[in-house]
Amino acid sequence: MFIAFLQICPSYRCVNRLQYCASVIDIDRQHLEIPLEFSHLHRLSFPSLRALKLQLLTGASASLDPTRSQFIEHHLTLEHLYWFPLALPSLTHEALPNLKSLSSTRHVVECLASIAPSPPTPPTPSSLSFATFQNLLLPPIPEVQRETSSLLSAPSCSIKRPIECLDIRSLDARSLLAFHQYFLDSTKLRKLKLHTFHDVSDVCQVGDTFPEITWLWLPNTHLPSGAVHPKAIELVCRSLCTPDDQKFIQESF
């Protein structure tokens, strides 16, 4: 049973009421679907929570991300998570050891893989100099894009989570191949949604790396290496398909 909290209310009475209703209506308290804007989420505790969906309904500030991370880290029993943070939250790589399904952002995956860059520390007023002020105003000069695998160093320890379903925005096929071994068990993945990839060979390598995949979603265009504009995906082995199969494949993309 899903515990749905439909109205955002900041009062402590509302927090206590939600916690009480959860214990009365759903004894196991295994599923929770709640607005991302609910500011007192970190005050709740569900020892048997298995599924969590945090959905943005009206709008919120990125200042809520730390408390969302705190709530997630405290619930080690979570197996299914739907969470698209508003900025770059800090999440320990030891979080979510039992995770089976994840819909989130690339930064969350990098945190779980222990390769996420440290968030920048804002300068204090006393440390502001002309150089600092200039850096804040002028956009940084973009660096030449390098292969993801050349930027990674293996973390000291990693948790290979039994993830079966993966849907990560802004995570391309090459990046997934580069650091998947730091956060998931490649033999468990069954369902994968790739939002972007470069070459078709990358998708083929994904199939070799995750042999148990039975469902794969691809975008209708990709950006091949060295190309300036996106290119439509070409269906291979079209002659081996019946007309009905071809129509089904085209409608799927």
Task: Give, for all 253 residues of the chain, the pLDDT tens digit.
Answer: 344 443 334 444 454 555 444 433 444 679 999 999 998 998 999 999 999 999 999 888 888 899 999 999 999 999 999 999 999 989 999 999 999 999 999 999 999 999 876 555 544 544 445 444 445 555 544 433 434 444 455 555 689 999 999 999 989 999 999 999 999 999 999 999 999 998 889 999 999 999 999 999 998 888 788 878 888 876 554 443 455 554 544 444 4
pLDDT at 66: 93
Tokens of 167: 């849907």
Count of the separate structural domains present in the chain: 2
pLDDT at 158: 80
pLDDT at 16: 52
Does 109 lie in the same domain as 46?
Answer: no
pLDDT at 28: 62
**140 falls within a domain:** no
Does 161 lie in the same domain as 51?
Answer: no
Does 102 lie in the same domain as 8?
Answer: no
Does 100 lie in the same domain as 26?
Answer: no
Does 206 lie in the same domain as 99?
Answer: yes
Does 110 lie in the same domain as 200?
Answer: yes
CA distance 191 to 3: 26
Does 204 lie in the same domain as 162?
Answer: yes
pTM of the model: 0.71
Q: Spell out the SS3 assignment of the chain.
A: CEEECCCCCCCHHHHHHHHHHHHHHCCCCCEEEEECCCCCHHHCCCCCCCEEEEECCCCCCHHHHHHHHHHHHHCCCCCEEEECCCCCCCCCCCCCCCCCEEEEEHHHHHHHCCCCCCCCCCCCHHHCCHHHHHHHHCCCCCCCCCCHHHHCCCCCCCCCECCCEEEEECCEHHHHHHHHHHCECCCCCCEEECCECCCHHHHHHHHHHCCCCCEEECCCEECCCCCCCCEECCCCCHHHCCHHHHHHHHHHC
Does 45 lie in the same domain as 160?
Answer: no
**73 falls within a domain:** no
Structural domain boundaries enclosing 10 = 1-63
